[in-house]
Structure formats: C-alpha cells, structure tokens
Amino acid sequence: MAGYLLVALLCCLLRAEAFAPESRLTWQETDISLIRFQVQEVYNYSTLLLSEDKDILYIGAREVIFAVNAQNISEQKQEVYWKVAEVKSEECSRKGKSKQTECLNYIRVLQPFNETALFVCGTNAFQPMCDILELNSFKLMGKNEDGRGRCPFDPAQTYTSVMVDGDLYSGTSYTFLGSEPIICRHSQHLSYLRTEYAVPWLNEPRFVHADVIRAPVNNPEGDDDKIYFFFTEVSVEYEFFNKLLIPRIARVCKGDQGGLRTLQKKWTTFLKARLICHSPENNLIFNVVNDVFILKSPTLKEPIIYGVFTSHLNNVGMSAICSYSLSTVEDVFSKGKYMQSATVEQAHTKWVQFNGEIPKPRPGACINREAKEMNYTSSLNLPDKTLQFVKDHPLMDETVTPIGKRPKLVHQNVTYTQIVVDQVKALDGSSYDVMFISTDKGILHKAISNDLEMRIIEEIVLFPDHQSVQTLLLADKQSKRYIYAGSNTEVVQSPVAFCEKLTSCTECILTRDPYCAWHPVKNSCVHILEESNTDRLLIQELNGDASRCPDSADKGIRESMRYKVKAGSTVELKCSCKSKLASVFWTFNDETLNINPPKYLLHGTLMIINVTERDAGTYQCWSQESVMDKVFSQLVMKHVLEIEKTPLPLTSTTQSTTRREEPLETTRFHTVSKETTTKMSTTQAATAFVGVTQLNNKITPTISQMEVYSSMSDVGVGKALYLTNNNDCSLLIILVIIFFFLFLLLLTYNCYKGFLPTPCLKFRDAMMHGKKKTPLNLKDCEQGVKETLVEKVCTENQCGGAQKAPHDTGYETEPDCGNGNITHKDDDTTAENETDQPFDVKCEIKYADSDGD
C-alpha cells in the first residue's frame, strides 16, 4: 500500500517537472467577446496577411479575398471573388476530383508585391494560378500566370511561401498528383531556381514554414541573406520498420544563381539538417514539426526559432515547443559535417557521416568572403567539384539542438497546430517571450517558459465549435497587439491579454501576465503597453508576490449576495474561483468553516442542509493559491444569510438527533438582479434540491417560493460571467447518494433473503478478518456501516462457506463507496457527531477496513 503511494507520488513529482501544468485561467466565449469575421457560404479562411501601415488585414478564403479593418476585423472593407472557370472545373472533375470541394479555387498565397498590389495564387481546380491584386480598385489584373511550384494543386496539400525583395520563395509540390516536392524561387530579375527532384533532397516533405533571415550589414563574413524552410519529411538516414518522419530545417542563399553546368537552374546552396526536439527526462521524442515562428526582435542578440512539435512515435497525444538559436543553426550549416550515402549489400544504401576531404569553397555556402577571396563572385562560376558535392550531400550530419537541450514546454492531451511569439518588456525591464500556441480544438494557449518553470498563463477559446486553428498571425507593432486566427469557418481577432478582466489586485498579480499590472489609482488591472508614463505607479510582480497589493482582502469580492430563507430549507452558496490552480475555503462569521456532511456539502458550491437560525450570518468564500512557495488568499464571494422565522409547526423526529428538525422544503431561489443581460442566468446563486428530502425520511416535500435578495456590486456583470453553474452537478451527486442508499437497502434485503451468497461471504470474511484492528476513519466508517448490516443478517442465515481471500472484500466494495464522492469528505468528527445516518447505525461500531495488507 505504502509502496504504491510512494510510486504514485514519485510519478506525480516527475510529471510536474516534465509537463506544463494546466493553464491557470480559461476564457470562454461568454467571458470575452472576441471580434469575428465570417461570410455566409465562404469557407477555408486559410491565408492571412497583415498590412501594418495600412492597418488592413487581408484574408484569403475559398474563391474570395477580403480586406478588413485590422483593428476590428468584423468591419469588411473590400472583397474580390476569384472563381474557377466552368471548363476548368469540368476538366478537374473529369480527372476524378470532387467538384463541390476540390475543384474550387483555394487561395494559398497572399504576399505583398509592391505598395499598391498583392501577389496571390490559388489552387484553381488543380491548375494553380497566380495573379496580381491591385489594391486601390481591389481587382485582379487577370494575369493568370501558371502557379505551378508556387501553389499546390491539391488544397489538402501543405505549402509555404515567403516573399523576399519581390521574389517568391515557396515550398510545395509541383504536379497534379503532388508527388514531386519542390522548393523554388520565382523572381523577376534573378534566375528561376528549384530543388533537384531526388530523394536525398526532399523526401515526401510536409512544408510548414518559410522565412528570411537577413545577414547583418557590414558583417566580416560577407554573408548573404538566407531563406529558411521548415518541414517534416521521411527520413533517409534512419532505418525503421515503417517510414520514419523527421523534422527538418533547410536553407538557401538569396544570392544563389544556380550552377553553370552542374546544378543548372538548381540551388547550389540547398542544405538541410535535422531539428531535435527531445525531452531527456522522460525520453520523449517529438518528430513532427507542425509550425515554426522566428522571433526577430531588435532587442534580441540573434533571432530565435520557435517550433511546435508533435509525435508519431511513443508519445502520441503530446505536444512540445522547442526553440533554437540562429547561431546553432548557422554553425551546423557552416561548420558541420555532411552525410553521405554508402551502398551496402548491392542496392541497399545507408547514410553515414562523410569523413573525406571537403572541396573548397565549402559546398552549400553562400558566396561569402572565403569564396570571394578565391575569386568566386557568383554561384555560376563555382567549381564543379563543389557543386557536385552539394548535389550529392544536401544533408548535414550535425543536428540542430534546442536551447537548453530540452523543450521549452511539453503538454499532454493536446495537439498544437500553430505558434506565434510576442516579446514584451515587463516593468522590471526584462523581456519575456510570450508564446501563443493554438490547438486543433480551437483553443489558444498563452505560455511562458524559462529555466525555472513553464506555465500556461491562460487559455482562450477562440472557436467554440472546436474548429482547428489553421493559421495564426500576430500584430505586434502597435501598442494594441492582436492575434488573428483563421479556421475553416471564420477568422477571429483576440487581444494578447485580458488584464481588465482581472478584477482584484491579487488576481492581477497572481496571473503573472507580463502584459498586465495593477493601477492603484484607477483601481484596475491594466495593459502596460496601453498605459503611458505610469510605470512607477503600476504594481507588477511577475513572481506572483501579491503582498504589495493595497488592501487586498476586499478588492476580490466579485459578488455580495443577501438571502432570506426559511428554516429547514437547503441553501446553496456559489463560489466561482476563476483560477484552476487555486483551492477554495469558506468562513462563517469570520471563522473557518469545517465543511462536514451531512450539514455541509461542498462541490464547487457550498450546500447548507436544513438551515436553522444558528446558520444565519456571513459566509465568505476564499480562494487560496500558492505561488513560488508563498500562499495568497483572496476573498471571492460574500453571502449573507438571513433565516426567516416560520410559523410552520415543528415535527419531532424519531431519530436520535439533537438538532431540531423541520419539514424540509424544496426551494427554488431566484436571483433578483438589477442587470438584465441574458448571461446572468448562469449566475443564479441557488437552486432547488428535490432529492435532499431523502435524508429526512417520512417528510413530504412541499414547494414554496422564496425570495432571494441579491445585491450585485458595480462590476457585477463582468464578473458574473465567470460563474458557471454547478447545480446540475450537485443534483447529480444527491441522486448518486440516494441510489447508494437504495443499493445498500437492496443489498441488505437480498442478503437477508440469501439471494446473494458471494457478497455475503465476503462481508462475513471481512468481518472475521477485521476484528484485529480498529482504526476508524471515514472510509472505514462507511464500510463499517454497510458491512455490519450485511454481516448480521448473514450469520443468522449461515450463508458462510468457502473462504475467500480477505483482501478481496475491500476492493470489491470500494466502487460502491466511490460513487458518493461527497461522503468521503467527512472526517472523524462527523463520525462522532452524526447520528442520523440511515438505518441508525453508529459509526463507532468496531470494524476494520479489510485492507489488511
């Protein structure tokens, strides 16, 4: 037993280290109203492009391109439809594609072309086409250029593209069947270049991202701008019983012009390497890259590459974020060893490290200082030796290892799809990389990770219908920062922080959001980038130390409620604690309330059963959260309960209880609220419990209406939205308890009748076995009740027989107790005080848990 616990504990500790904890806050659609863009009959909002100076967001969907206001995307400015010609559509469907879904024009490329035009490409019924979109008139120029190599044929195929100085670099597939992968450049003044169609170059890649990294000006190496591609492909270097997927980073140089004879019209600078995302603690390997974001901030020493990974190996259902520094990547390409294929046993090839002499200039390098010193000024005059080498050895042996040699974040039961990273300078002067990671279920996680911890500050429900997030875009230039997310059915715009929803100083600090700080004068939690020159005033403690908060106690009150109820009824008091990392406790007239059944039940809400005048007073619900070894409490809700004197006659009960018992009334409370929003319905503080009557048998329930006076504080509406109703759940629990008792009754009866020989035996065994020890705790007590009852009957009927292993009984009966979770919350004190248990059985009955091992 102890051993098992230890193992469980260890597992727990290990897990806590290896995986990110649950997000602290969750914002539902009802908490925050996000701005949405959706047009009837238009789907697949898959391409987003932001023009920051024009403040316009361009959206490429199926057969249409929109321009919307970037500050409020619901405000559409322009649109242009781009439909497939009927002949093309016919042709496409003749080739066996679906006319309704595939033979349409999915906009896949939306890139800035010049000041007044965009470059756009669409799948165009499996005949990809590109065009120029003139922005003033918002009309397509009808250029109808062949889009092969720039845009996929199949809308289901992956692709990526980036526009660099007017040239389009794209990773996609070149043919109708999608079998020929390609990374190519379409340029007006530079030559068209592409990858060699060969397995060592690209092997069934799934492209996810491409971006340019500019070489620093005046760098001594005389290096070139580089375009990086990220994809997952089938490994050539590893053997596996099946195709082994592997995440890759590849790069080409902007100044590449191809070779003169060898590698004519092909990249002479194409090199690729393996990206490592591996969690050494638990040996989890993440081998599929789903998205990449390159953080390029002027304050950063060098760009940081953030990748979102999942796995097809041992850890399906987990996702990880790994980050890489650009210098690590560059070192691999500029200094690392190459791989080469060696033929073993005839046709079988194996990839091994190349240890021979590497030709000069270094194969795959840009035309840098070294090449220029050797009088090579262009890739066109590079020696054949170098070119042939890079043609045969595009894969590096060295791997790109993540910063810190481990993932930044690992999360379970989630599939991350997209990532963007914002950098925010907190008031303490340090910069934080805030990761926004979307899931395939329409959720956005906002996470922070450093050497000490990884944590998810909050999760935002972007798409309540759980649509997968297809594309994510960050607008980070202004003080008003936004995240735009596209799905198959809509685009949504979300702010980067929800500071104003954090209503108390403690809550504002405990959230530890680098965007948020407490403004003592405004008495609200504010977005630091939207405030000016108040830095010294604002309170921001990213370590979560809320002790600087002025008078933290009362600020947290979201609601203060006043009820007047009749004696004998059951009252339910709500406590909505937003933080999932907090625990809740209650006070009654400023003293800690011991929540023991059957007087009190706690299940999200506090239930007070059979109220008497002594229960009148102030109930306060507190949330308690520990951050960095400190514990902070804040008042969440305050309820004032008044008991109405009732003229109802008192019924003396037959039970041996010291409390006065009054007819239990089934009551329905109505929250009388001054606000009229429909969302308030979820805040109804208390509801009826029909089932509670079972606890006081022989009393017929009557229904009476009761007035509940509710006084909402000014901020009540916003805060009220936090509340979710737990009433259904409480009712369920009550029902479970009833069924539990009914089951007991049935069991006793059946046992008495001798219908159930086996359980009887077990109870009997348990009884005999358990005489040795008598520790009394709650579980023992409960089981004691059950088992004694049965045992008595059993012995009378002599339903004993073959002995069973004693420890069987304990586990056999456990599920029965497990149903009524609430009853487990009581402790020794209940057992002593409580006498009105069903069947009037006392818990003191000497009885041991059969768990003798």
Ligand X SMILES: *[C@@H]1O[C@H](CO)[C@@H](O)[C@H](O)[C@H]1NC(C)=O
SS3 309: strand
Q: Is 363 one of the binding residues for ligand X (CB under 6 A)?
A: no
Tell me the C-alpha distance between 722 and 502, whole Å. Answer: 11
- What are the structure tokens assigned to 301, written together? 């020493």
Q: Find out whether 478 and 472 touch, Cβ atoms under 8 Å.
A: no
| Shortest Cβ 103–ligand X spacing (Å) | 12
Burial class (CB in 10 A: 0-12, 13-18, 19+), 261: exposed
Chain centroid to CA 828: how far? 40
Q: Is 676 one of the binding residues for ligand X (CB under 6 A)?
A: no
| Shortest Cβ 72–ligand X spacing (Å) | 24
Q: Which residues pair with 622 in a beta bridge?
A: 585, 635
Tell me the C-alpha distance between 57 and 486, whole Å. Answer: 12
Nearer to ligand X, 375 or 658 (CB): 375
Q: Find out whether 742 and 694 touch, Cβ atoms under 8 Å.
A: no
Chain centroid to CA 620: how far? 32
Q: Which residues pair with 434 in a beta bridge?
A: 422
| Shortest Cβ 244–ligand X spacing (Å) | 27
| Shortest Cβ 581–ligand X spacing (Å) | 35
Query: Which of 618, 630, 710, 631 minimizes the C-alpha distance to 673?
Result: 710
Tell me the C-alpha distance between 337 and 5, whole Å. Answer: 49
User: Is the N-terminal amide bond of 663 cis, ω within 30° of 0?
Assistant: no
| Shortest Cβ 48–ligand X spacing (Å) | 14
Tell me the C-alpha distance between 709 and 462, whole Å. Answer: 36
Among 33, 136, 375, 413, binds ligand X (CB under 6 A): 375
| Shortest Cβ 178–ligand X spacing (Å) | 13
- What are the structure tokens assigned to 468, written together? 């997968």
DSSP one-letter string for 735-767: HHHHHHHHHHHHHHHHHHHT--HHHHHHHHHHH
Nearer to ligand X, 82 or 600 (CB): 82
Q: Find out whether 294 and 211 touch, Cβ atoms under 8 Å.
A: yes
Q: Is 156 one of the binding residues for ligand X (CB under 6 A)?
A: yes
Nearer to ligand X, 489 or 618 (CB): 489
| Shortest Cβ 49–ligand X spacing (Å) | 18
How many residues sit in the footprint of ligand X (CB under 6 A)? 8
Q: Which residues pair with 349 in a beta bridge?
A: 343
Q: Pattern 572-611, binding to ligand X, x per CB under 6 A?
A: ----------------------------------------
Q: Find out whether 21 and 449 touch, Cβ atoms under 8 Å.
A: no
- The Cα-based distances of 561 to 39, 569, 620, 851 in angstroms read 43, 18, 10, 46
Nearer to ligand X, 188 or 375 (CB): 375
Nearer to ligand X, 222 or 544 (CB): 222
Nearer to ligand X, 362 or 786 (CB): 362
Nearer to ligand X, 46 or 315 (CB): 46
Query: Which of 390, 261, 257, 255 minimizes the C-alpha distance to 333?
Result: 390
Q: Is 149 one of the binding residues for ligand X (CB under 6 A)?
A: no
Among 8, 352, 374, 805, binds ligand X (CB under 6 A): 374
Residue with nearest beta carbon to ligand X: 488
Nearer to ligand X, 260 or 537 (CB): 260
Nearer to ligand X, 155 or 604 (CB): 155
Q: Is 489 one of the binding residues for ligand X (CB under 6 A)?
A: yes
- What are the structure tokens assigned to 750, written together? 């059946």
- What are the structure tokens assigned to 555, written together? 């600020």
| Shortest Cβ 102–ligand X spacing (Å) | 8
| Shortest Cβ 253–ligand X spacing (Å) | 21
| Shortest Cβ 289–ligand X spacing (Å) | 20
| Shortest Cβ 60–ligand X spacing (Å) | 12
Nearer to ligand X, 41 or 451 (CB): 41
Q: Pattern 8-47, binding to ligand X, x per CB under 6 A?
A: -----------------------------------xx---
Nearer to ligand X, 44 or 47 (CB): 44
Residues found near ligand X in the complex (CB under 6 A): 43-44, 155-156, 374-375, 488-489
